[in-house]
Amino acid sequence: MIRSHDAVVETQFGSQAAAYVSSSVHSSGEDLDALAQICARVRPDRALDIGTGGGHVAYRLAQHARSVVAVDLSSAMLEVVAKTARERGLSNIETMNASVERLPFDDASFELAACRYSAHHWRDWEAGLREARRVLKPGSPAIFVDVVSPAVPAFDTHLQAVELLRDPSHVRNYSEAEWAAALSRAGFRVHRCEKRRIRMDYESWVGRMQTLEAHRTAIRSLQQLAAAQTATYFGIEADGSFSIDTLQIEASACRAHEL
């Protein structure tokens, strides 16, 4: 069966919504604390969480924003987010089933946007960034967090290969330089970047995406045959667990005179 890219994303995430709410990689992290601090400082009227997944960004933003809109391609994800928000008494979170490439909001209708671990799935990354910029009021903060590609080509190829085998909706983990250039083209000004290293436990990493057995075998084979430099860079462990870099980018929507 031939499916659109967005349908592949929906299939991958729709069946695993609950796993993303409970995932420790997604539900905790210094980046979530940093996002909450920025939101506490800005106190936006309306904040946007793009590619909300299990809703962890939205739950944190909701403590400091008057209202939060949590956007995702997967309606199953959004149902779980709405239920979890109700259980946590967060009545100011609204969910919206939409694609980042076509956000159903007016220009300049949010005062903060956040996007965590979603951009590497977007069919058209640059269109998504332009939409994020369009719906933000000029000068408003935008925080992007994602797994970042290493600058060394051999490491980059290994990362993209295992990511795609694990999850057919993976498009690309971009490098810091690619992020900086694309954000500038989309009308953002980057103020600060912070890299962190996180460990991916192999079994929960493939379990969360219900990776096919044949693909798990291929991932393990790539890991076992990896050159020493690659294995060392990713800290590949005997059971397939490994470590990757994430990048937190703090940017703002350019004002007219900054464009």
Rounded CA-CA distance 219/184 in Å is: 35
For residue 193, give the 3-state DSSP assignment: strand
Instruction: Kindly state whether residue 62 participates in binding ligand SAM, applying the rule CB under 6 A.
Output: no
Contact 127, 187 (CB under 8 A): no
Instruction: Kindly state whether residue 208 participates in binding ligand SAM, applying the rule CB under 6 A.
Output: no
Q: How far is the CB of 181 from ligand SAM (least distance, A)?
A: 20
Q: Using CB under 6 A, which of 35, 47, 57, 90 touches ligand SAM?
A: 57
Instruction: Kindly state whether residue 223 participates in binding ligand SAM, applying the rule CB under 6 A.
Output: no
Instruction: Kindly state whether residue 253 participates in binding ligand SAM, applying the rule CB under 6 A.
Output: no
Residues 72-91 that bind ligand SAM (CB under 6 A): 72-74, 77
Among the listed ranges 52-60, 61-69, 186-194, 244-252, the one in contact with ligand SAM (CB under 6 A) is: 52-60
Instruction: Kindly state whether residue 150 participates in binding ligand SAM, applying the rule CB under 6 A.
Output: no
- CB neighbours of 76 closer than 8 A, spacing ≥ 6? 10, 13, 14, 15, 17
Residue 255 DSSP class: P
Q: Using CB under 6 A, which of 13, 125, 155, 234 touches ligand SAM?
A: 13
- Each residue of 170-188: b (16+ CB within 10 Å) or e? bbbbbbbeebbebbeebbb
Q: How far is the CB of 26 from ligand SAM (least distance, A)?
A: 3
- CB neighbours of 224 closer than 8 A, spacing ≥ 6? none
Q: How far is the CB of 177 from ligand SAM (least distance, A)?
A: 23
Question: Helices (H) and strands (E) in the chain — how many of each?
Answer: 12, 7
Q: How far is the CB of 251 from ligand SAM (least distance, A)?
A: 17
Contact 99, 75 (CB under 8 A): no
Q: Which residues bind ligand SAM (CB under 6 A)?
A: 9, 13, 20, 26, 51-54, 56-57, 71-74, 77, 99-101, 116-118, 121-122
